[in-house]
Structure formats: structure tokens, C-alpha cells
Amino acid sequence: MSKTALITGATSGIGKATAELFAKQGYNLILCGRREERLHQLKNELGRDTAIITLNFDVRNREDVFSAIDNLPKEFSEIDILINNAGNAHGLDPIDKGSIDDWDAMLDINVKGLLYMSKAIIPKMTERKSGHIINIGSTAGKEVYPNGNVYCASKHAVDAINQGMRIDLNAYGIRVGAVNPGLVETEFSDVRFKGDAEKASKVYQGFQPLKPEDIADIILFVVTRPYHVNIADLVVMPTAQASSTLVKKEL
């Protein structure tokens, strides 16, 4: 029987590439995001390959998260794989100049949103004593870079939550692991720089960044390991990148 995977942030970037790859592999998919039009489009396109349901909510809204998960149709209610991917950076400013609204957005989405999703889905996994949770962290969750302050804090929190989940869910046989990418060219920088396309594209100039499909590939690898194998924490960077601040241009 096909497994069911729920992907948050499926409307763009890493989440979308993962949805496309998983659809080809025949996973039943629950695809989440705020942009309804994109969700419709995904359902139309990927629905040819597999069973798809889309859920349109903001992960910051606790009631909407629980209501969406509690009201899933029966055929989608047993979630085997949760991919906690929704998230973004908002702003790139020194700590003394940062916007409190940006800080709220990053902590509410990247940390609390991930927790709400997990809290809504974990009980059925513990009941069934099976499940697999993949948390999308970042190299920003392993090291702090200039002006990254609160985004890095949010991803360090994901790193801690990933470890905590693995420890606490170990008794139930639930696999928990993180995939922590370096620079991936998605809409991430458009969001970080609030639609300033020129600033956003400069982030990826002069070297070959990762593509969202590279991360999707790795996520598929993680979920297709035999049950006794849990990829607990994986860091992946473009070859041109050695750390958050060291990127070799024109490689």
C-alpha cells in the first residue's frame, strides 16, 4: 500500500520539488501552503500520478493547523511521513537594526509552526508506533553568520527540536531526522529581501548553488532507507560552499 506523506511549504522551492518527486514515486500526498492558486495547480499536475489533497493554512495559526489535520478525510488520515519544511528568512539585518515583525515571523513560522504541525500529527504516529518525521533545518542551524541572528536562532531551535523529538519518540519506533541545506536557489532570498529580485539573485551569483531538486533527492533517499536505518542529521552544501561565509566564486 502507498505511504502517505505530508509536506508543509509545498507551493515553492524545496517543498514543491519534493512533492513532484514523491508524486512520481506514487506516495499519497498532503500538500500544504498559503498560496491557494499554487496548491490547485499542484493538485491538477501531480494528481495525474498519485492521490493528492491540498491544505491551505498558515502554520502560525494554531487553530487552523489542528482543524486541517483533525478533519483530514479517512484515506489521508494516517500520515506515515511528515516533512516539516515550511519556513523562510525575513530580513538580513544586524541585531540592533532588525525588525521585530521579521523576528516574530521567523520564530512563529520556523519554530512554532513546526511545533504545531508536529503536535497535530504525532499522536497518531505514537498510537500506531510508526512514522517518520523529517525536519528541514539549515546550515544556519549549525553556525551563525553576520546579520543572520534571528534566522540562525530559529534554525538552531529546529536542530534542538529535531534532537528532542528523536529522543522522546524513540520508544515508539518513530524515525526522526533533519536535513540541513546550505545555499539552495529558491524563492527563499526573494522572501528574505521582501521581493527585491536583484538583491535576491545576487546571493546565488558566481557559483553553482544547490537546486531544490537536489534536496528533494536527498529527502527521498532518507525516507527510502530500510526501517532500521534512520538518517538522524544530514548537512548538505553546494561544492562551492564551505561554510555560511565561505563560498568560492567561479568554481
CA–CA separation, 34 vs 149, rounded Å?
26
- Asked if residues 70 and 121 have their Cβ atoms less than 8 Å apart, the reply is no
CB of 123 to ligand NDP, least distance (A): 21
Nearer to ligand NDP, 96 or 205 (CB): 205
The interface partner of residue 35, options being ligand 8X3, ligand NDP, none and the CB cut-off 5 to 8 Å by kind, is ligand NDP
Q: Footprint of ligand 8X3 on residues 111-170 (CB under 6 A)?
A: 138-140, 148
The interface partner of residue 135, options being ligand NDP, ligand 8X3, none and the CB cut-off 5 to 8 Å by kind, is none
Four-point Cα dihedral 31, 36, 37, 40, nearest 10: 40
Q: Is 91 in the site for ligand NDP (CB under 6 A)?
A: no
The interface partner of residue 244, options being ligand 8X3, ligand NDP, none and the CB cut-off 5 to 8 Å by kind, is ligand 8X3
User: Interacting stretch for ligand NDP, rule CB under 6 A, among 23-31, 165-173, 180-188, 234-242?
Assistant: 180-188
Residue 23 sits at φ, ψ, to 5 deg, of -60, -45
Told to judge if 204 belongs to the known catalytic residues of this protein, a careful annotator would answer no
Q: Which of 136, 134, 122 is nearest to 175 (CA)?
A: 134
User: Interacting stretch for ligand NDP, rule CB under 6 A, among 54-62, 73-81, 93-101, 226-234?
Assistant: 54-62
Residue type, 74: K
3-state secondary structure of 58: coil
Q: Is 35 in the site for ligand NDP (CB under 6 A)?
A: yes
Q: How many helices (H) and strands (E) does the chain have?
A: 9, 7
Q: Name the residues annotated as catalytic.
A: 151
